[in-house]
Structure 1
Amino acid sequence: MKSIKKIFPVLILLALPLFAKTDYQMYVLSLGAISSILVISLNYLMGLCGLTSLGHAAFWGLGAYTTALLLTRLNFPFIVALLMGGIVSAMVGVLLGIPSLKIKNVYLVITTIGFNQILELIFNNWVPLTRGADGIPQIPPPSLGPIIFSTPIAKYYFIVSVMLISVLAFARIKDSRVGRAVQAIRDNEMAAESSGIDVRFYKILIFTISAFVAGISGGLLASFIGYISPDTFSPAASQTIVAMLLVGGPGTIWGAVVGGFMLQIIPEWMRFLKESYMALYGLLVAIIALKAPGGIGELVRTLTVDVLMRLKLLRTARKAEDTNV
């Protein structure tokens, strides 16, 4: 049963391109995978540690700009540039993680919003480096040595491969000593500290990991689209990331993936509604939050376990009938 539960989501991700009839649909699916990596990064903070951030798009932007600049100006290999984007974001994550030791709740939220606004201003005004509002064009596509992922389907499978590595890393960390310590801090910080957990260390560590993964997502976005500009990484984008996580399910392994894909695909389904689609989109997100407080990921997990248990009971009943006969 456990192996089926692990393989089934992977098979769905691998099969999604079969339902994409145009390059634009492949483009949306790839954006969904990039968003999923980004939401996984926020899941470390909000899902595991219980720290709310409304400035996560800043780390996303740092990774994107670092990767783009290394690729376009210094001709770095793609993988090196991508990892450097994650490392730069992680270093800044350490600096933001330090204030989290002193401030909590709404004050931390305000701090992260301010941080996001500062980074957006830097992206807009440091024109010699970032080209300001014009953005950075002609960013090379993802590559591995001589292999260039230039077609839509090649880009999708490359991004999904990175996303699956991110999911695996999150699952391992969640069940590790670090993950258990961080979750203990989330549940009761005072009790965790009294039991010998170094709260300061683990909070800064989780900020660092979260920022690194967000930076990787930003680097993938830059190379996938081939162009970035400051407005992509605004505080409004941070709010969307939080919405994705809440819809998918904070703390769940696959919830971030579900949220990332859903909030990329659903707006495209609603384009035919023109001006009114954003209102219905917001209403749908609100309904999901009210009816499935654990997120779609938790709901899907519960339903999957229920179905598998019913199938197991059905097989057991049939074996019993055959034995009696």
Structure 2
Amino acid sequence: MIKWEVKKILKDKSSIISFILIVLLFLQISFVKPMLETKNEYWDEAKNKYVIDNRDKNTIANEKLNIKKDTIQSVIDSPNSDKSLISISKEKISLDNGNKYENVDFYKVFTERLDFSLSIVIMIIIIVMLVSNLYTDEVVSNVSPIILSSKEKNKALYSKLMIAILLPILVYGIYAGGTCLITYLQYGKPLNGNLQAYRIIDIAVLSKAMTINQYALSKIITNILMLLGISIVSLLISFFSDNSVKSISLSVGFIVIGKILTLFKFLPKTLILLLSIGNYIDVIIGMSKLTGIYNGTIEILSKSVDISNLCISVYGLIVVFSILGCIYSIKKALNK
């Protein structure tokens, strides 16, 4: 039945739009080029002109690294620093003293591209467009009564859930793989992934104590969880929608609801704090950083919990509960 669902998607007009978006996805990614550690370009307000640092690359890179290391050390030395941040800073320096710059060009670009805003938006459009219509189209075309009366109705409905789970993993997997290949062709093979992530994170003082490889992997996991949640919720919404416009609109509403709730100041401060850091919109457009960044802690049941980890855990819970919601909806449809 999964093959039948795939064939149905491929025959739909939205698959053509999706293909065009995938092509656009890879065309634009090669142009995403963050400032490398070996380069330094900035706008000089005093001189009113754009300045390009023409010094030796290693000199520039080591100067940047020293600034990062000094900033981290200042957190350790300051009596007013957050205790958790002091602990993280000490661990980073003990694991990687940052005495010498090492080539991290590949990882600097690759990790930036992994969650580039436009790329994530394009993937969300593809996923919502395809998943929102998995069941709604059958309702509109009056095919659903035929499916629900067939012997294969169980497989037919559960195959939709499998598509909603596999599609975001497949889309992001292809994107991440393609990004890795493009970055390799442009910047060479990945080197020094065992070094600390603060070497490639611009806000080094807030970076967590993790290797560059761990930082890249955590970005991939976070993005997949986010896309999975959006995909499965879109399927859940389609079970209760009677047309495609409503289904897609409600799916978009789910994506933006977290951002909207941050405007409701009467909500508990802790909830607003979590929403302001972990809402989909701010994470997608890069206004809020989750992966590898220390965003502080909150007290839950007398225990200190890292906010970034909590937000990512909520993404995981959204996936779990939306799957359970889909299973409930499927069983309800089967028992009609």
Q: TM-score range by the shorter chain?
A: under 0.3
TM-score using structure 1 length: 0.25
With CA pairs under 8 Å and 6+ residues apart, which has the higher RCO, 1 or 2?
Answer: 1
TM-score using structure 2 length: 0.25
> Normalized per residue, which structure has more helix?
1
Larger-gyration structure (1/2): 2
